[in-house]
């Protein structure tokens, strides 16, 4: 397993990270533990979760993902050698079940969220604590364009950073990161950290895949120059790039079969582009899933690719991508498709 530096921190992480948002919804606790065991055996030491998980978010399942991971950590005798990442939820009326829907990135909410996560995860510290999405009005979760809005009720970035600094000082957090963030937001956090002598963001967790390369436009340069690398989520666009949904297929128990809320990745342009990527992989004798993952992992601004699975067979396939090096012909084919079908799933 390849290992990479996490930003400017003293931590190295595996180039593949185990995503866990299916634990508690599509995966039982025993299935979750089996995935964790297999990932660990393959050399993955980086585990990503969130207080909001599993997804889709429901009041009756919220927190189960962290609980399953915490139980697994206890069963294996602790968390030595592991890098554990979780996230605090930002504001949203669709999360009324988290702190009564009043969740903001302020001191009361961040401290309450962290303490609850620590309890569920059965640990005394988090290696990487991330802001799941911005507190302010901006474009994320597939929203295009920027609609100016009144931000008077948004928590200032400096206030949020100050709270995180105190939690680092208290030893509850080792390092901090952002997620679903914009170039402006990331640079402001980095500038404030430098100006005020506060902890620096070491990573940014945003969507990135063959169907969504928008990270390259403004954030890739920041990731490299500022050493704040990408933790790429949805590298398979929720499984779309495996090709399993082409031609109207809806496999039993697959995410799109069970939940209709993920149409961000299933529009006609995405399907057209996916069919071309799958055909490209097959022409070169490659597994489409492994080709898509290997491409993401090979990008110079990527610190780790977050893989997720609902079965051990899927996980095994994902793990195999780390040993795949794409040749020039495959890269050229990918770029050709991207030129014709750029970013169909923002």
Quick check: 87 and 95 in contact, CB under 8 A?
Answer: no
Enumerate residues 6+ apart whose C-beta is below 8 A from 244. Answer: 251, 254
Contacts of 198 (CB under 8 A, 6+ apart): 161, 162, 164, 165, 192
289/278 Cα distance (integer angstroms): 9
Pair 109, 88: CB distance under 8 Å: yes
CA distance 170 to 85: 17
- d(CA 119, CA 129) in angstroms, rounded, equals 15
Task: Map residue 1 onto helix, strand or coil.
Answer: coil
**Nearest-angstrom CA–CA distance, 86 and 18:** 12
Active site residues: 53
């Amino acid at each position: 397993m390849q290992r990479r530096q996490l930003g400017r921190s003293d931590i190295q992480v595996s180039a593949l990270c185990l995503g866990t948002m299916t634990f508690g919804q599509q995966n039982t606790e025993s299935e979750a533990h089996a995935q964790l065991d297999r990932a660990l055996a393959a050399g993955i030491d980086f585990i990503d979760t969130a207080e909001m998980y599993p997804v889709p978010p429901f009041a009756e399942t919220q927190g189960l993902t962290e609980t399953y991971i915490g139980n697994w950590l206890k069963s294996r005798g602790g968390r030595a050698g592991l890098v554990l990442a979780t996230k605090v939820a930002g504001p949203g009326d669709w999360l009324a079940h988290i702190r009564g829907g009043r969740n903001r990135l302020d001191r009361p909410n961040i401290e309450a969220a962290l303490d609850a996560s620590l309890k569920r995860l059965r640990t005394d510290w988090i290696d990487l604590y991330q802001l799941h999405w911005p507190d302010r009005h901006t474009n994320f979760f597939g929203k295009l364009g920027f609609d100016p809005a009144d931000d008077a009720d948004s928590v200032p970035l400096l206030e949020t950073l100050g709270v995180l600094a105190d939690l680092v000082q208290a030893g509850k957090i080792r390092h901090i990161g952002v997620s679903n963030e914009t170039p402006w937001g990331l640079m402001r956090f980095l500038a404030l950290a430098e100006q005020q002598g506060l902890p620096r963001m070491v990573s940014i967790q945003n969507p990135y895949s063959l169907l969504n390369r928008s990270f390259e436009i403004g954030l890739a340069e920041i990731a490299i120059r500022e050493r704040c690398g990408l933790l790429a989520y949805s590298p398979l666009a929720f499984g779309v790039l495996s090709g399993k949904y082409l031609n109207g297929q809806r496999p039993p128990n697959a995410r799109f079969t069970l939940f209709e809320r993920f149409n961000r990745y299933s529009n006609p342009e995405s399907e057209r582009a996916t069919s071309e990527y799958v055909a490209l992989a097959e022409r070169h004798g490659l597994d489409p899933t492994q080709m898509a993952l290997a491409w993401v992992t090979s990008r110079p601004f990527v610190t780790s690719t977050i893989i997720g699975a609902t079965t051990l067979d899927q996980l095994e396939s994902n793990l195999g991508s780390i040993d795949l090096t794409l040749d020039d012909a495959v890269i050229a084919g990918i770029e050709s498709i991207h030129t014709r079908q750029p970013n169909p799933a923002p």
